Amino acid sequence: MFGQQKTVDGIIFDKDTKERIASVLIVNTRTKQSIYNNLQAEFKINAEPGDELIFSKYGYHSDTLKIKEVGTLTIYLKPTARMLKQVNITDTVQNPEKRLQSTKLEYSKAYGSASNRDLLSVSPGVGAGISIDALWNTFSRSGRNARRLQEVIERDYHENVIDYRFNRTLVASITGLKDERLTDFMQKYRPSYYTVVYDSEYQFIEYIRGCYRRYSRNPRAYTLPVLVTPPSATQPKP
């Protein structure tokens, strides 16, 4: 008869701010079990004394802990510098929070009574790169159109967050692709916003590697067909 499986539980905090961190990947190296902690930063995983647990999350240094005794753990992860700072950007690009705050301050009427304060609460990345002046001139200043303006800004912001993490420097270093083939691959296997925001660094690299394996097997997959002009359109009318 098998003995009862032992478990350990705990809470994960940011080492600098002491705030709780959710969506941290936890792996038991012996059993290969992997879980994520919950939105309250709490977790519970099967483990015994001597097991090693690895804690990892994008934006933080991974940490390894060897279990000495079964009980409640308190884990502190140290934030890491944002990856790939050498990405080609101009000195006018701001991080997303600063850019969005600047946008909301500049166009406060779009973020007044008709706005939803949580609408643009997103994870770190790159600020929106759209022309706010052009958008503002397109829409009227009514509450309904202000809401539409918010949605356009949010959608563009999400795309820029993807561009920041799924950038040419990172993808080229993982796949070895360059020039036109790199552009082709990145267009065909562009990740979703939620993949970019919630995947750990390890998961995101594995996502790119998996896509590259599929691309290597069939580079023409997802290629749009060439438009062909019907013969009747090129023949002169009688």
Domain spans in the chain, listed from the N-terminal domain onward: 7-77, 96-164, 166-217
HSE at residue 117, side-chain half, CA atoms within 13 A, is: 1
Q: Quick check: pTM over 0.75?
A: no
Residue 36's pLDDT band (boundaries 50, 70, 90)?
A: very high
DSSP code for 59: T
pLDDT by residue (tens digit) across 23-34? 899 999 999 899
The pLDDT of residue 162 is: 86
Number of residues written out for the chain:
238
pLDDT by residue (tens digit) across 121-146? 444 444 444 555 555 555 545 555 66
Q: Is 238's pLDDT higher than 80?
A: no
Q: Are strands 63-66 and 34-36 parallel, antiparallel or unpaired?
A: unpaired
Say which range, 54-63, 71-80, 215-224, has the weakest mean pLDDT: 215-224
Q: Are strands 7-14 and 72-77 parallel, antiparallel or unpaired?
A: parallel
Cβ atoms of 55 and 26 closer than 8 Å? yes
- Tell how far CA 191 is from the center of its chain: 9
Domain 7-77, CATH number (from 3.30.930.10, 3.30.750.24, 2.60.40.1120, 2.60.40.10): 2.60.40.1120
